[in-house]
Structure formats: structure tokens, C-alpha cells
Structure 1
């Protein structure tokens, strides 16, 4: 080996020794343990989780802040005012439902075909007037058969009675046995019962045939006719209004029902005269009589159901209309005067919006006099309530609101208008 080759070989060996690649030292290296690898992997996962949490928390905080901001912006802005005390109420005006004195659907009691009707809608009829006729040949045939069965039963009963009487006479002379006599006596009693059964069946069918003619049950007016000539009629009251023949109402006297607040229940008495007004008759006042009350306060509405009867023999009023019932009452409690714009009309009745803190509430109220601009609130408010002016129609009980002064509201409306421009 030349000196140069020897020098290169030593140089390579030195280099492998410096870099730890000496083949003689390789067997001394220790392998990496599994536990150390798992530890490293867990550390990596932990770091990733921490980094994820650090990224998620700010996003959740931002989403929560956005939700709170959205709810804050969604809350309507309102102006409140304190209720103004008013003069004691001496008259209460309440809405009243006008109904007929009697209201009855008329159904058929026998099945068949309508052969004729005699009165149409709007016709005034007297009690017992013939309204329509129904042809029911099946019932007629059943009646004829029942009458024939009755005649047969009468003949059998008469024969059994004669035989029983004959045997009763012969048994005293020992001409016949007591057993035969008892048999004929029992047979006479049985045939007599059959006669009564046949008579009852005949009477039933006669009543059914009498229902072929439909009569008016009371004096009144025909408000609906739902049948025509030739139509098939089913007996009895069906599940649909179309199964009724006519609809009648007694309208010579009308009933007006209204709910009087319980605080005024002691102010009304049976027999007193009550004034009524109707939108259909402006400027006219009709007088009715308070005939009865429920004699109990409704626990749900705290009102007393009152019935006022009004004479309608002239036919000026119509059932189904809405009346204003004027009650003279004794002054009770405090009265507040508010603009009409504070009233909220809901299906469950009149409401007024009030604010407690930043929460809106819908208070049920009873109104007194109403001059078109202001209204008297008889019940439902206190002097400490803050009433919402011009409440939004969408206001609900328990909703959060922003209470602003008139100046703040005007400034907000101006800013919104300029922003829209």
C-alpha cells in the first residue's frame, strides 16, 4: 500500500469516528424506548389541544358578544309616561254581544225525501206553522204492518180470554183439570201483553209518521234553509250543519250579554233600566232591562256575566251585532286618564303596556269614558305604573325594552333617518 492510500484510509477512519459512524461502536447504541415515544406523542397532542382551545375561546366569546348585541338591538325603544288621575267614574261602557232570545236548529225526526218546503230565509213564522213535508213510504208501510199485527194480537187475546173463561166455569164442575185451566188463563195473560206491545209499536210508528211534517217550535224568523225539494233527509242531528233543515231565531226580544268588572258588581240590580247604543243606529239610545246575572264572579277574568233584555218587536235590531252597554255605577277605586294611543287590542281583551326596570308587561284594563282622544282606565293600573306610549303591535309580556326620553327618541329617529338617506 502506498503512503497516499494509507493516509486516505486513516483520514476516513478518523472522520467516521468523529461522526459516530464507526462500525465498531454501532453495537453500543441503545434503541429508543416505547414509553418515551408515547410521552412525546402525548406532549404533541397536549400542545395541539392547548392551541385549539386558545383559538376556540375567543371565537365563542365573540359569538356570545354578538348574540348579546343582537338581543340588545332587537329590544324596541319606548317612551313611558305616568298615568294622570281622573275624576271618579259614574258610568261604565262595555261591549255587549247581542243574541236572539231563542236560537234553534231544526232537524228531521224521520228519514225520507223532502216533498215541499213552505218558508225561506227572513220569513216570520208563528209557533206550529208547517215548515216542510217529508215523504217516508218505509215508515208508512211499517205502520200498516204494525196495525195488522195489532189486529192479530187482539184476535188471539180475545180467543185466549174466551177459552180461559170457559175453563174457569168447567173446572168448578170438575169437567176439566186445574192444570188445563191454568194453562189457558196464563195464555190469556200472555196474549194480553202481546196486545199492549203491538199497541206501543203502532203508537211509535204513528209518531214517526207525524214527524213527516216539520213544524215551527216557537214564534220567530227563519235565518237559514239548508234543504230543497227532492233532497234525501236523514233523521236526527248530524255532525255537520248541512244536516239541519232550517235554523230559527226568536227576535222579538233580544238578549245582550256583557262582562261587568267585579268591582262594580254591587252597583247593578235586577230590574233596572240599562241604556244601549249601536254603531248601526248612531245617535239613538235603546233601553233594556237587566233581567239576570251569573251571581258569581268568573275567577279567570274577575267579571260578572250580565244579561240585558231589549224589546225588538219593531225589528230595528239584529241578533249577532255588537252593542255598547252603559251602566250607572258607584265610584270605586282610582281612575286614570291616558291617551287612546296607549291601548293594545288583543283577542283576550284590552291591554296597556307598562315597564318595570327594562321589562315590558301587558296589564289587562277596564275603560270608562272615551272621548276619542283620551280614555279613562278604571281598573288595571296604579299611580306608580309607567305606561308605554304608542306601544308596538308586536309587544309581548316579559319582553326587554329600551326606555328613552322624548328627546332621546327624537334624536334616535333623526339619526336613523339620516342614516337611511
Structure 2
């Protein structure tokens, strides 16, 4: 058997040295891990913060200079319009004119049979005859008593009573006469006549219909919408029998945006077109302005008078009105996607030189669909965020997207700040 190897004893000093070396190595490894972990955390935070900054595309407002015309929708209305109601009750005896027919002032349109009124008139005439006879007898009596006073046969007091009785009877006769005149006047209203030259645009009755005497209410012009005069609610006081319109000249009501009001004054030329007559236009001029801005729409009602002697234009129809502006008007426009609407109102997000967001309140002049013309709030040199992200606020930092390239290699105007046009 081989001899056993002797076991060498390790001195305590060497053991302590080895332990120290191992502790140092472990410490270095731990410190290195902590440093690397801290560096990774910092890089992660920097990356997260960098990703939190939104990247946006910017552009400048589009500018339309030398605007010569302004196209707006309008509504054609008759120069004068009347809804005719019956002042007496009865039954429609006959009507003479149907819709679409021209009429002259005073022309008979319909007749109403009034049996109740006829009886009242007969009774009134009888009451008048009785009152006149009584007054005549009282007059003769008063004269006789006056002669008796002169002869000293009766007292002056008795004669004065007879004279007073005559005056009372005379007043009653005048009242009866006034009642007969009133009933005759009402009888005249049984004939419905045209108040002016025009055409019949509506007929709301027929032969034998029960007619309730009264008048309509709510007839007039509605400036807020530009609609013309017409029949409103009759409130149960009668029915509209006819509607007469003077269409030889028409009124056109247009709501003009506030920004353009100073440019459109009386006598400003306007060209009117209607869908049913393509390629044909009618020249007119602004007659008057409401001289007030409607708070709901931010526009002013304008009235235009257009000649319609040939009857080509139809009252109540839609019309496109093109105004000739007397001087140049510069309008700024933005894409519809740039608009922001919240509790603060309508705003647009712009970017300053330090890439900080500034929200600006704007007003809309015209909505053209994808493009919105603004009335106020922006300057021509503003840089607009094309599609602002949700929650963006004044003071936020953004990153500007690189200019996109078209297939031909030129810069895209949607990101190089040259505008929309």
C-alpha cells in the first residue's frame, strides 16, 4: 500500500487574505451591477420622456387674397304677400280664381253666404226704422210743448222734459243707424277681393265650406332665417282662404358673415342663380341691411331686390347669391382637422419658436367642408398643428415632424409651411 500523503495545514493569515479578496470581488460585482442598473433606469426614463413628447405636423394658414366675389345661400320671397281671412261667418258660396292665376287689385276671389248676418241686418234696419219713427214723434211733441210754453199753458220744466226726451230718442236713432252701417260694412266682407296685383299662391277653401269669421295671427317676416311673409297660426280664429303674392319683384334675404358686412353696402352688385335654371343668372343690388348682427349665427341679414317681370323666379325657392366685393379681402383658412372644440370654445393649436404649444381662440367665417375659412384669431405667420393630439394644452412641448416628400422629390406643402393654396 502506498504511503499516505501528509496534509498541509493552511495558515490563518492566508485564509483571511483569501476571504478579503473574495469580499472585494463580490463588492466590485455588486457595485458594477448597481451602476449598470442605474444607467439602464436613466436611459429608460429618458426614452420614456422622449416618447411622451408628441410629434406633430405643422403648416401655415392658407391665404386667399384679392377675393372678388362672395357666394352665399339665399331665399326668394315675394315683394308683398297677404293671407286673406274671412271677417264674417257663413258658408262659401263660390270661388272665382284658383292657384297660379294672376289677379288685379279689387278683383273678386270668392263670395260667402251669410244667413245669420243677413238676419241681423234686417233686424237692424227694423230697429232703425222704429227708432227714427219714435224720434220723429218726440220731435213733434217737443215742438208743440215749446209753443204751449210760449202761450203759458204748461210750465217750462215740462217742456224741457219733452225736449230732452226728443234728444234721447234722436240719439237712439243714431245708434241704430250706426249699427246698420256696421252690419252693411260686415256684409261687404262677404266678398273676398284681391288687395293688390299678384298671383294666387294658395287656396284653402272650397264651395260649401263652413267659414268662421276672424283673422290670422303670426303673419310677417322672419328675419333670423330670411324667410318672407306668410300665414302663421290662426289661433282658432278663422282659416286662411287665399294667399296673394306680388311676384313682379322679389326680395332675396341673405345672412352675410360679420367679417364681410363692411364690404357689402347698399347698392353692392349681386348675381343670383337658381338650380332650376342652370347657366342663367339675374343681376340685382343690395337694397338694405338689418344693421345688426344676429348673436346665434354671427351674421347680418341683407335684403336684395330682383326684378321678376317674366315670372322666371319662384318665391320661396333657394337661390345662390354671389356678391361683388368693392375691395380686396384677405381670408385665412385652415384644414377642418386643425380645429379644437371644448369648454373654452373653438380654438387652433399653434407652435412657437421654442416648440411650445399656444392655443388660440378663432371664429369661423365659412365652412367649406375640408377647409375652414376663419374670421379672426390667427396671423398669417402662425404655425398650425394640422391634427392636434387629445389633451394638448398651452405650454406643452411638441416635436415637429420632418417634411414629407412628394413622388417628384419636392417638399409637401402640408408640412413645409407654405399653406393650403
TM tier, smaller? 0.5 to 0.7
Does the aligned pair in 2 maintain the 1:86–1:376 contact within 8 Å? no
In the other structure, the counterpart of 1:31 is none
Distance 2:263 2:151 in 1: 89
Distance 1:209 1:404 in 2: 85
Compare the two structures and name the one with the higher helix fraction: 1
In the other structure, the counterpart of 2:291 is 295
Distance 1:385 1:323 in 2: 38
Answering whether residue 82 of structure 2 is matched by residue 104 of structure 1, we say yes
Answering whether residue 91 of structure 2 is matched by residue 113 of structure 1, we say yes
Does the aligned pair in 2 maintain the 1:252–1:313 contact within 8 Å? yes
Distance 1:80 1:187, change over 3 A: farther
* Structure 1 residue 172, shift from structure 2 partner: 1.9
String of CA shifts for 1:146-197, please: whole Å, max 9, x gaps: 0111111111111111111222222122121111101111011101111110
* Structure 1 residue 324, shift from structure 2 partner: 2.1
String of CA shifts for 1:336-363, please: whole Å, max 9, x gaps: 2556x7699xxxxxx9984577999884
Does the aligned pair in 1 maintain the 2:65–2:329 contact within 8 Å? no
Distance 1:338 1:321 in 2: 32
In the other structure, the counterpart of 2:162 is 184
Answering whether residue 260 of structure 2 is matched by residue 264 of structure 1, we say yes
**Residues 156-235 of structure 1 aligned to structure 2 (within 5 Å):** 156-235=134-213
Of the three residues 101, 106, 109, the one matched with 1:123 is 101
Does the aligned pair in 2 maintain the 1:98–1:254 contact within 8 Å? yes
* Structure 1 residue 298, shift from structure 2 partner: 3.7
Distance 1:379 1:233, change over 3 A: same
Answering whether residue 69 of structure 2 is matched by residue 87 of structure 1, we say no
* Structure 1 residue 274, shift from structure 2 partner: 2.4
TM-score, scaled to structure 1:
0.64
Distance 1:186 1:312, change over 3 A: same
In the other structure, the counterpart of 1:253 is 249
**Coordinate RMSD, CA, aligned:** 3.8
Per the alignment, in what secondary structure is the counterpart of residue 95 of structure 1? strand
* Structure 1 residue 302, shift from structure 2 partner: 4.1
* Structure 1 residue 242, shift from structure 2 partner: 8.2
Does the aligned pair in 2 maintain the 1:226–1:242 contact within 8 Å? no
Distance 1:285 1:200, change over 3 A: same
Distance 1:223 1:362, change over 3 A: farther
Does the aligned pair in 1 maintain the 2:283–2:306 contact within 8 Å? yes
Per the alignment, in what secondary structure is the counterpart of residue 314 of structure 2? coil
Mean Cα displacement is larger for which, 189-198 or 170-179?
170-179
Per the alignment, in what secondary structure is the counterpart of residue 154 of structure 1? helix
String of CA shifts for 1:26-65, please: whole Å, max 9, x gaps: xxxxxxxxxxxxxxxxxxxxxxxxxxxxxxxxxxxxxxxx
In the other structure, the counterpart of 1:366 is 366
Distance 1:121 1:241 in 2: 23
Distance 2:190 2:87 in 1: 8
TM-score, scaled to structure 2:
0.64
Per the alignment, in what secondary structure is the counterpart of residue 305 of structure 1? strand
Distance 1:404 1:241 in 2: 70
In the other structure, the counterpart of 2:122 is 144
Distance 1:404 1:232 in 2: 78
In the other structure, the counterpart of 2:276 is 280
**Residues 301-380 of structure 1 aligned to structure 2 (within 5 Å):** 301-331=297-327, 334-337=330-333, 354-355=348-349, 363-366=363-366, 377=373, 379-380=375-376
Distance 1:99 1:366 in 2: 24
* Structure 1 residue 120, shift from structure 2 partner: 1.5
* Structure 1 residue 240, shift from structure 2 partner: 6.1
Distance 2:323 2:385 in 1: 27
Per the alignment, in what secondary structure is the counterpart of residue 276 of structure 1? strand
Unmatched 5+ residue regions in structure 1? 1-77, 345-350, 392-398, 408-421
String of CA shifts for 1:359-406, please: whole Å, max 9, x gaps: 998843237xx8xx98683624524374767x9xxxxxxx86899999
Does the aligned pair in 1 maintain the 2:74–2:253 contact within 8 Å? yes
